[in-house]
Amino acid sequence: MSKVKRRIQQYLHFGYLPDPESALSLTGQGKPGRNNGIAGLPEKELIRLGAVKLKKAFADTIAEIETPVQHLVPLSGGLDSRAILAFLQEHTQSSNITAIVFGVPGTYDFIIGQQTAVAAGVRCLRVNLDEIVWNQDELIACAAGVGRPLPLFETFLFSRMTKFFTSSSSCWSGFMGDPLSGSHLPVKESKSWGEALLKFCDRERFAASIKLNPAEFRPEALLPEKPWLDPGFLTLDEQLDFNLRQLDYIKPLVLFGCDDTKTPFLHPDWVNFILGVPNRYRHRQELYKKILLEVYPRLFALPTKTNFGLPLQVPGWRLKTRKAALRLRAMARRFLPDQPENISPMINYIDFNAALRRREDLKRVVYENIMDLKHRRIVDWVDIDNLWHQHQKGQGNYADALTLLASLEILLKVKKDTLFSAKQFPADEILSPCKRRA
């Protein structure tokens, strides 16, 4: 198999290209681990010390900014961006802070993000993703701008925030806040590298609806042969998540378009602290949540997406009731799948399955690109026509697969060496011109 074909199959599995040579520099001071003198501290002392470390991470980050700027905070319904907003609120005037909320009405990111901005008393800019117009030229420009293979339809939506970025603004990102605090720490850790690889590949398959590669494709064979660190420093599962998913997918996605992005959760003091506590405190981000409630109690008394639209401190019965209600809504969507009022409040971005049946602009750009991809004859094992028709008839939800196939075609159109360069394909194998439909 040629290198480029292998990269294409890897992209069709992950939606990005995990680089075996990737290694996220977490501390700048050597390996994180449990030999830093804090593992034996009682929980109360860990909360106190964690509050000190987190505040220092934020303070040192803002100290890097030499001139007064407008602080831009993309604000979700989660924890990390809210922590950043709470810190900025204490250290600068509200007029110097702008929250950017993006999503669609009915989702927690859109609703709770706005509630948080109002509670903080800061300016709030809203990006309603239902109002975004899907355009082929802009998707191509987005692909060229991000400079690497990513799921382009998600990347395009995320990039709509960049219109607010200016040379006089500093953008803050919660990148790595959740993973470091334990959001991706499995309850049952992998015992071997092989087990961790298989779990990672299964979890990271972008198109959950259908496999887009031949049966013999083994994505784990393209990943690192051994872990970066001893699992005593960082679990095998998290090593793959941090060094591949976070570095090769999440980082270029969330940091796209801003030349001056602040990432306070990568501060070495915070990294060394949060990775140094016993994992029982990182499961479900338990210690992190208690630190946030200790440091910024007012804003973290508000509902969060992390807790399914409820505040962090609620009785267990309320959380169970909320989860049950969300399950009932999910069942209702099976019978009325494309009704806007039935959208899952937990969804990121938009409901692509419904939009790909309702939105003519999205349908057009996806259909044209998957037809162009079909004529290249490089994914012959996928019945693209059947996939499209099944989705349009409501006989399956295949938006994840269809948008990824369309993304691949757009990346091929860009023809950049950093993507899937046309020059790398044997002319008689792949690069016959796309046959445009009349």
Q: What is the CATH number of the domain that holds 176?
A: 3.40.50.620
Number of Cα atoms under 13 Å in the Cβ half of residue 8: 26
What value does the CA radius of gyration of the chain take, rounded to a whole number of Å?
22
Q: How far apart are CA 157 and CA 178, in angstroms?
A: 21
Residue 72 covered by a domain: yes
Average pLDDT over residues 151-156: 98
* Strand blocks (E) in 248-309: 261-262
Give the pLDDT band (50/70/90) at residue 416: low
Average pLDDT over residues 295-307: 98
324, burial (CB in 10 Å: exposed 0-12, middle 13-18, buried 19+): exposed
Quote the distance between the C-alpha of residue 386 and its chain's center: 29
Domain interval for residue 284: 36-313
Number of Cα atoms under 13 Å in the Cβ half of residue 384: 21
Residue 270 covered by a domain: yes
**What does the block give as tokens for 366?**
């996806």
**What does the block give as tokens for 322?**
């909320």
Residue 159 covered by a domain: yes
Residue 240 covered by a domain: yes
pLDDT in the model for residue 202: 98
Q: Is 235:185 a contact under the CB 8 Å cutoff?
A: yes
How many structural domains is the chain composed of? 1
Residue 211 covered by a domain: yes
- Whether pLDDT at 432 is above 90: no
Q: What is the pTM of this model?
A: 0.92
Dihedral (CA of 366, 200, 17, 214) sign? negative
Q: In terms of DSSP bridges, do strands 123-128 and 169-172 run parallel, antiparallel, or are they unpaired?
A: unpaired
Dihedral (CA of 300, 305, 306, 312) sign? positive
Q: What is the pLDDT of residues 34-44, one digit of tens each?
A: 556 788 899 99
- Whether pLDDT at 50 is above 50: yes
Residue 349 covered by a domain: no
Give the pLDDT band (50/70/90) at residue 335: confident
Collapsing DSSP states into helix, strand and coil, what is residue 98? strand
Other CB atoms within 10 Å distance of the CB of residue 221: 11
Residue 109 covered by a domain: yes
pLDDT in the model for residue 27: 45
* Distance set, CA 258 to CA 74, 145, 220, 280 (Å): 12, 12, 33, 36
Residue 153 covered by a domain: yes
